[in-house]
Structure 1
């Protein structure tokens, strides 16, 4: 079962709350906290992802701060592989590698520990996060995995906001999988 059928997609979509006009007017915010606190929906999602990625022979799952930590840590535990956090600048305690990315007005930066993959060159890494929009953070995260000498075997996102084009941008760097295209 590596592709969701329409009923499964609807089940997951129904577990995600829509918040109109958040954080600003015109934005339809997808609140995944309702999926996370629904044990059937969250359990189904993690079981589905475990089944999908069991054959990938992963060494690590990397999650983007902060919601990617939730999915990534749960999935890594189920797959019995390591979890690697990709964090905003200044949040990791040891030596890091950084990657800047563009925002609408300016830049931001994400980091990974330089030894995140325990110096095993070519480690097979799955990147995961809850949502891909414009793709700037995800693109930077893939580049960080590569800079740390890992191999991003796939970038996985629960939600893809198609009209913003981020999935296309990231798919130029690594294979991409999205569960729900909105």
Structure 2
């Protein structure tokens, strides 16, 4: 895939939110530490609950270790999740993938059932499915704002209709009373 060139001065680099980094760090590494503490206290057998401590620690330790291994690439300082190059011939670019705005047929923000990280799923007009992993560092509402502001105005009409229905039917956005900006381009 092509990388960013010096002519892409307007490129918008999407990085993780600092608060989301803290949440992820606390969840994954806090869980690992809690499992180790439970296992240590369970192995002492000083409490009537020692077997529960040991069982809980042994049960959840592999899960948190698995999540920590998946999360390691996101811990690089200044990690850019993806880059948006705005404009009529704009595109979404990551290290390994890119997709032109005009080629986007459908876009979703879904949780991967294997690693439990949120991903951006893009379906293109040439029937390719492209995923951009966000490591849970991009809040869902931030994703909708970014997409609405920079990508939506340059989509094909059918893709705009699909996106409009998706925004209208999203229960999270309804409960947050999310309001979209006006996207009329002339």
The structure with the largest strand share of the pair is 1
Q: Kindly name which structure, 1 or 2, has the bigger radius of gyration based on alpha carbons.
A: 2
TM-score, reference length from structure 2: 0.24
TM-score, reference length from structure 1: 0.25
